[in-house]
Structure formats: structure tokens, C-alpha cells
Amino acid sequence: MAEQHAHATEHADHDHKPHGWRRWVYATNHKDIGTMYLVFACLMFFIGGAMAMVIRLELFKPGMQIVDPQLFNSMTTMHALMMIFGAVMPAWTGLANWMVPLQVGAPDMALPRLNNFSFWILPFAFFLLLSSLFVPGGAPAGGWTMYPPLVLQNGASFPMLIFSIHMMGVSSILGAINVVVTIMNLRAPGMSLLRMPLFVWTWLITAYLLIAVMPVLAGAVTMLLTDHFFGTTFFTAAGGGDPVMFQHIFWFFGHPEVYILILPAFGVVSEIIPTFSRKPLFGYEAMVYATASIAFLSFIVWAHHMFTVGMPLAAELFFMLSTMLIAIPTGVKVFNWTTTMYKGSLTFEPPMLFALAFLFLFTIGGFSGLMLAIVPADYQYQDTYFVVAHFHYVLVPGAIFGIMAGVYYWLPKWVGNMYDMTLAKWHFWLSTIFVNVLFFPQHFLGLAGMPRRIPDYAVQFTDWNMVSSIGGFGFGLSQLLFPYLIWKCVKSGQRVTSNKVWEGAHGLEWELPSPAPYHSWQEPPSDAVIARGAFH
């Protein structure tokens, strides 16, 4: 171990990284690329968040006050695209870039130049998408789900939407291939599959999901493109096509996609809860198998997004039952996390606080998900604010809190400085309170009959919309603390002296010095070091 340190320190002195802009444009180092992904995701998070603020401002009270209905529809559409493809997915890829090599004992990602390429596609994809706000007819306004025939009514923004989706898809696929190859080929000797940290496991499964479904999305949007420009009629009934077929293809991508957004969060939480419970993860193998089961089930539940399109009874029953099955592996995960805390020795640093908020609030999203699986009840929930509340509960205190928990957990390892704990706790409490003020009332609005994606509403929905908007502004403002806190940590945080950072931390990343050297694990860790970090 001492050898490793000495080696790493020595290496840090002459790691030959290019300086200035070349370091980033020509980047092949997994840490630099990881950082770029994370900074990019943060930027997109705030742009997408600003769009959400426009939405909540317009919905603060009934009547149209600030935006035209068309622009409102553009805001909901773009908010979703920015958050899903611009914020959450790149943030996870950034965390994978940083952590997978450190956690499996690899010197870098397996395909460094591909890594550079997959990142640098993204700024162009989002420049194209965002510039559609300024073309005649405005930004895409047909919903992020791009259902035809409506999406075909978009003006000049339509091909921009399609090509930006293509670019994001290419980027995701390349990133996923890199993760799979790294995990499969660059694990240190002795790091068997069932010794891998849960974050690596969940990302491996996520990467397979990405490789499986991003081409499906690419195919679907390409068919839209040819329908629009080249006279095909895949989705036009007048030419023998079927608009509902698009929905089937889209959700065949779309349901695995939602697990792409959440599975790495399961991984992060499975790292954090044991650390701050000072106890190994309960049921490690069950966690791996549960994740794999969820991934498998994600391929056979897609039509629960479209129960009202008029499917045969047998299909509705099938998709209801398959969807309900997801509750079983998800339940196993929640029970395992809870049991990990049972008879532990708990402390509540910011990563643990975010992981706990994840645990509670993701479970609430799980409950509403179960309710949505019940087809007859779904006829009342479908396309209402109940659905909006559901998926925001699993995506904001779910995926986003998972990302934040991960950043708070690993940031000291990345920069070698500790962040301001008090400020981070403020960030946590403000986020957790406001996220509930923001999204909980939306359950009521949906049940009381408010459809989603409407710019204005009947007056009886005023009260809860006001509450929701206040929560939205509070949540949005509190997020400004996050980049400030990271900036402050990098500039002037207190030095972290130990490798472990957190008392109960386990895993290879905690065997490296803090900050982790620019080139790490150039010599693989020994079997003893690996065994020390593994859960068993």
C-alpha cells in the first residue's frame, strides 16, 4: 500500500497533462472528462431549471400572465429534454468516468479517445437543441415524448430536435460502451464480478440498457424524420401507418430509459448508506440480482405509459401485471437499505442526509407508481398532475438527490478538500423541504382533475398550484448553493488528510490519496487491498 502511495505521489509531479484549453479539448484522462461531464450537467440543470421556473411562474395563478401557450408548451418540452438528456444522464456518465476506474482498480477508462468524443458531442447537441428556441415557430412544443402527428407540426425546430436527439444518443451509446469495456476488461486481478461495488454494478447494468434502447429511440425519431421530409407514412394513418406504433416504439426505449436515470442512484445510495451506518450492505447479492431483475422487467412494461390508447384487454392485463412485478425487486432494495441501517452506528453527514431523503421520497414515488399500474385507476390518473407528481418524486429526490449524494460523498476525494458542512446541510434541508412543497400538492391537483401540460387552469386548482409554485421557486433558489459550495470547496476548502475521508468508507477509491492522483492505479491494487474494500 505504501508503495502505491509513493508511486502515486511521485507521478503527480510529472503527469504531463497539457495546460490551458488543450487539457480539456484534447482530454483523455477519465478524471478530466468526468469533471467536464459534471460541469456540463450542472449547467444544463440550471438552464432546464430556469425553464421550470417559467412554467411554475405561469401556473402561479389562473389566467395567462407571462407566456403564450405555444411558448409554454416549448418550456415543458425543453425542460424535460434538458433535464433528462442534458442534466441527469451526463451527470451519471461523469460520475462513472470519475469513479468506475477508481473503484475497479483500473488506470483509466478503456477507450480514452472515444471518451473524449462522447463528451464533446454533447455541447454541440445541446447548442443545436437550445438554438431551436430562436428559430421561426419556436422550440419543439409537442412534449419530450414527441408523439406524432403533433410533433410533425413543429416548424424549423423539428429537424433540429431530431438531429440533437441523434447526437445525444450517439454520445450515450459510446459512453455506455466505454463503461462496459472498462468494467469487463480493466478490473484489477482479484476484483471478481461479485466483489464489485454496487455503483459499478448498477452502472454496468445501466450501460447495457443504454446500448439496448438508445438505437431504438434513434430509429423512432428517424422514422419521424422520414415521415416529415421524405414522404414515408410510418405513423400516418392516411398512408397505412399507425401513430400509436410510435408510442410503442418510444416507450420501449422510454421505460428502460427511466431506469437508466435511476439505477446508478441505487448504486450511489448502496455505497453511502453502509459507509455512514459503519456496516456492510445488507444482502449484497440480492441487491445485484434485484437490479438485474428491474432491468429485465423494464423491457416488458412499456405500454403502462399508454393505457388509454385503446389496447386489447389481454394486453392491458399483461402490462398491469408485469408493471406490478417491478414492486418486488424494488421493495427488496428498499428493505435491504433499511436493514443496512438496522443495528448500525449512524452519522448524518450531507451524503447520508441526501441518501436518506432519497430512501423516503423515492419510496413515495414507488407507491404512486404502484397505484398508476392499476389500469382502471390509471384511466383517472393518466396525463394528470398525479403522474407529474409521481415521476418528479422518482426523478428529483430520486435521481437528482442520488447525484448530489454522490457528489457530496466523493467530492473530497476528487479535490482533496472538504466542503462547508454547514452550508451543505442548509442545501439539504432547503432542497428536501421545498421539493415536497413543490411536488406533494401535485398529487392532489391530479386527483382533483387537473390535466398535465396545460398553461392555464380552472380556478378551483389555484390554491395548490400556488403552493407548488412557491415550493418550485424555493427549490430552484436553494440549488444555487450547490455550485457555490463546490466552487468554495475547490478554492478554499479545508485539506483532507486521510485517504478514507469518511470513517466507515470501504472500497478501492478510499485506498488512494486525497485528492486522487491524476493517474491512479497504474499498478493494480493487491488482492488484500481489494478484499478489504469489498463487502465480502
Partner 1 sequence: MMIRAKNAQLSNKLAAIVSSLGLSLACALPAHAESESGWSLLNMTQGVTDISREIYSLHMEIFWICVIIGVIVFGAMIYSIVTFRKSKGAVADVTLVHNTTVELIWTAVPVAILVFMAVPAAKTLIKIEDVTKTDLSIKVTGFQWGWQYDYLDSGVSFFSHLDRKSNTARELASGIDPNTVDHYLLNVDKPLVVPVGSKVRLLLTGADVIHSWWVPAFGVKKDAIPGFINEAWFKVDTDKPGLYRGQCAELCGRDHGFMPIVVDVRSREDFDAWVKAQAAEQKQAATPGAAPAQVAATASTTG
**Least separation, in Å, of the C-beta of 353 and partner 1?**
11
Grid-cell match 423539428, residue found: 158
Contacts of 5 (CB under 8 A, 6+ apart): 513
Under DSSP, the state recorded for 503 is: T
Contacts of 46 (CB under 8 A, 6+ apart): 479, 483
Q: Is there a catalytic annotation at residue 342?
A: no
Residues 240-259 interacting with partner 1 (rule: CB under 8 A): 242-244
Binding partner 1 by CB under 8 A: which of 4, 115, 171, 382?
382
Of the residues 305, 390, 413, 506, which is catalytic? 305
Is the distance from CB of 448 to CB of 460 less than 8 angstroms?
yes
C-alpha–C-alpha distance, residues 69 and 65, integer Å: 10
**Least separation, in Å, of the C-beta of 286 and partner 1?**
6
Identity of the residue, 94 or 142, whose beta carbon is nearer to partner 1 in the bound complex: 142
Identity of the residue, 82 or 110, whose beta carbon is nearer to partner 1 in the bound complex: 82
Binding partner 1 by CB under 8 A: which of 192, 380, 494, 497?
380
Residue spans of alpha helices (H) in 2-111:
2-13, 21-25, 30-58, 69-81, 89-104
Q: Phi and psi at residue 137, in whole multiples of 5°?
A: 95, -15
**Least separation, in Å, of the C-beta of 422 and partner 1?**
17
Binding partner 1 by CB under 8 A: which of 12, 57, 177, 467?
467
Binding partner 1 by CB under 8 A: which of 156, 193, 317, 531?
317
Q: Does 473 bind partner 1 (CB under 8 A)?
A: no
Is the distance from CB of 140 to CB of 152 less than 8 angstroms?
no
The length of the chain in residues reads: 536
Q: Is there a catalytic annotation at residue 304?
A: yes
C-alpha–C-alpha distance, residues 367 and 381, integer Å: 14
Q: Is there a catalytic annotation at residue 58?
A: no
Binding partner 1 by CB under 8 A: which of 463, 487, 522, 531?
463
Q: Beta-carbon neighbour count of residue 372 at 10 Å?
A: 20
Q: Does 477 bind partner 1 (CB under 8 A)?
A: no
**Least separation, in Å, of the C-beta of 267 and partner 1?**
18
**Least separation, in Å, of the C-beta of 125 and partner 1?**
24
Q: Phi and psi at residue 384, in whole multiples of 5°?
A: -115, 180
**Least separation, in Å, of the C-beta of 496 and partner 1?**
20
Identity of the residue, 9 or 380, whose beta carbon is nearer to partner 1 in the bound complex: 380
C-alpha–C-alpha distance, residues 136 and 482, integer Å: 36
Binding letters toward partner 1, positions 272-311, x by CB under 8 A: -----xxxxxxxxxx---------------------xxx-
Binding partner 1 by CB under 8 A: which of 458, 477, 480, 531?
458
Is the distance from CB of 64 to CB of 483 less than 8 angstroms?
no
Binding partner 1 by CB under 8 A: which of 14, 16, 19, 343?
343
Q: Is there a catalytic annotation at residue 498?
A: no
Q: Does 192 bind partner 1 (CB under 8 A)?
A: no
Residues 125-144 interacting with partner 1 (rule: CB under 8 A): 141-143
Q: Is there a catalytic annotation at residue 255?
A: yes
Helix (H) or strand (E) holding 495: strand 494-495
Return left, alpha or beta for 190; rule: phi > 0 is left, psi -120 to 50 is alpha, else beta.
left
Binding letters toward partner 1, positions 45-84, x by CB under 8 A: -----------------xxxx-xxxx--x-----------
Span near partner 1 by CB under 8 A; candidates 262-270, 374-382, 414-422, 478-486: 374-382
Under DSSP, the state recorded for 526 is: P
Binding partner 1 by CB under 8 A: which of 12, 114, 430, 447?
447
Binding partner 1 by CB under 8 A: which of 3, 238, 422, 491?
238
Strand partners, 494: 418
Is the distance from CB of 398 to CB of 365 less than 8 angstroms?
yes
The three cell numbers of residue 174 are 459510446
Identity of the residue, 131 or 380, whose beta carbon is nearer to partner 1 in the bound complex: 380
Q: Is there a catalytic annotation at residue 79?
A: yes
Is the distance from CB of 211 to CB of 184 less than 8 angstroms?
no
Cα 99 off chain centre by: 16
Residue type, 68: D
Binding partner 1 by CB under 8 A: which of 456, 526, 529, 532?
456
Identity of the residue, 101 or 142, whose beta carbon is nearer to partner 1 in the bound complex: 142
Q: Is there a catalytic annotation at residue 5?
A: no
Of the residues 330, 384, 431, 432, which is catalytic? 330
Q: Is there a catalytic annotation at residue 345?
A: no
The three cell numbers of residue 352 are 447520508
Q: Does 436 bind partner 1 (CB under 8 A)?
A: yes
Nearest to 76 by CA among 54, 109, 106: 54
Q: Is there a catalytic annotation at residue 478?
A: no
Of the residues 157, 206, 270, 363, which is catalytic? 270
Q: Does 500 bind partner 1 (CB under 8 A)?
A: no
Of the residues 32, 58, 108, 227, which is catalytic? 108
Contacts of 485 (CB under 8 A, 6+ apart): 419, 420, 423, 424, 427
C-alpha–C-alpha distance, residues 312 and 450, integer Å: 27
Q: Does 374 bind partner 1 (CB under 8 A)?
A: yes
* Residues classed as catalytic: 79, 108, 144, 171-172, 255, 257, 259, 270, 304-305, 330, 333, 452
